[in-house]
Amino acid sequence: MTKSIQKDSKKNNHNSNKKKIKKKGKPIFNKELLKQGWEKKRQIGCTLSQDMNTCYYNAVLQCFNYTPQLAQYLMEHHKKSECTKYEKDGFCGLCAVKDITHRCVWKERNTSKNIVVHPSSIGHNLKIISSNFRRGRQEDAHEFFLAMLAAMQKGATHHLGKLTPKQEETSLIYQIYGGKQRSQLTCYSCHAKSNTFESFLDLSVDINKVDTLQEALNNFVKVDIIGADKENRYNCDACKNKVKAGKKTTIDRLPMVLPIHLKRFNFNPHRGSMRKLNTQIQYPEILDMAPYVSEGKEPESTKYRLFAVLVHLGSHCESGHYISFVNAPDGSWYEMDDDVKTRVSLKTVLNQKAYMLFYKSMEETPSNGLIREDSFEKRAEKEEEDYEAWMARVVEEDLAKRLTKTKKEKRRVTIVPPVSKPTFKLSKKLQRKLIRRSFNNGWQVEDISA
């Protein structure tokens, strides 16, 4: 009886959630639950066992393990016991990734003993993830990545029923990986412009005849001429004529995590088969996406930091081996080759013939660990308070919480600003040495008593 009552209560809760989303049009997922950086500086985690051509999904899973936004959310908020997708089908993409991340990264007993984790939750459910996959057969890592995103999307939205495309774009997976691109058609006769928008979870760029990632992205946003041939002119809705037009694709909304797929496998019409481009493409650790953003758009941050690289070794697409390079929470880089891990330098990472690149937004997580001052100004505006007064109050309140008194003396402290020396006057207690570091949301109290 109790089990049936619990099931009925779950159904009622899910039905009420559906009504709330459809009526109010609220986002499915609260983006504030995602954390841009690692809260704890963990060491590199466990490796994954190789079993009958599993290197393609081992490499992708390691990239998921070290995506801070996804990994930390799953470990802190996703519960398998409450997952209706797992309860119904016996498999959920979110549950599977969480299980592997928990065993590889979170379970410190495993990491300290260098235990090799067997990702059975993936291997036993390949046909559920995609009907095209076969156990024991080498598959494409990029196809598996997209299939796993689709599986996780189903796990995140299963209990909500049928959703509109706009509603799906507010789900967990789209909040992390989802961006939007704009295709703009410009009539060369009347100069009328028409825009179409399409969401994406990764960018696929052509690397033929380019040497750098920036060159490939420049080609991605360059104008393509439509109707150069008189027989295939563009039919303009504005001037009602068949004319030449230009089509330009740009990024209208940048994602939190940006996976970039380099098109190394292309169809060779002369041979009638696929071929691999073994071109060495240079890519940076810090990528600025500003040149590829739509005109008129001013995102808070356009800079991204590399955190994972997926590589295909071999000269043919039908064979070869996949490995990945990941940036551990403690900042060190490692090569993850199935059940072998090797510490490497950043220079080694940047010299790979990459197949996929994973970048994360540097918004509110600059390389020096400081919080940008404009983020504090925005927070002051939300609380309808003068910036300087708000900052002084925050410092005073935090200091009061952190000061500890001993029987012999009051501890001397250092007040640390996030970016630069503030313009407001500090009280005598706060007039200590100012240094540039941060804690939590920007300020730090450092004990300097000797």
Distance from C-alpha of 221 to C-alpha of 358, rounded to nearest angstrom = 20
DSSP state of 285: S
DSSP state of 225: E
CA distances from 312 to 17, 116, 169, 315 (A): 43, 22, 31, 9
14, 102, 118, 321: the active-site residue: 321
Report the alpha-carbon angle 104-71-97, nearest 5. 65
185: tokens are 């058609």
55, 63, 83, 92: the active-site residue: 55
The CA-based dihedral angle spanning residues 156, 158, 160, 166, taken in that order and rounded to the nearest 10 degrees: 60
Supply the Cα-derived Rg of the chain in whole angstroms. Answer: 26
CB 84 within 8 A of CB 158: yes
Distance from C-alpha of 261 to C-alpha of 277, rounded to nearest angstrom = 13
Residue 244, SS3?
coil
Is 95 among the residues known to form the active site? no
Distance from C-alpha of 352 to C-alpha of 284, rounded to nearest angstrom = 12
With tokens 């109790």, the residue in question is: 2
Bridge partners, residue 226, by sequence: 245
Distance from C-alpha of 379 to C-alpha of 239, rounded to nearest angstrom = 48
What lies within 8 Å, CB to CB, of 298 at 6+ separation is: none
Helices (H), ranges, 39-192: 55-65, 68-77, 84-89, 93-101, 108-112, 120-123, 126-129, 141-157, 165-168, 172-177
Distance from C-alpha of 254 to C-alpha of 45, rounded to nearest angstrom = 29
CB 370 within 8 A of CB 418: yes
* 80 exposure class (CB count in 10 Å sphere: 0-12, 13-18, 19+): middle
Is 55 among the residues known to form the active site? yes
Inter-axis angle of helices 93-101 and 55-65, to 10 degrees?
80
Distance from C-alpha of 338 to C-alpha of 264, rounded to nearest angstrom = 22
Active-site residue list = 55, 321
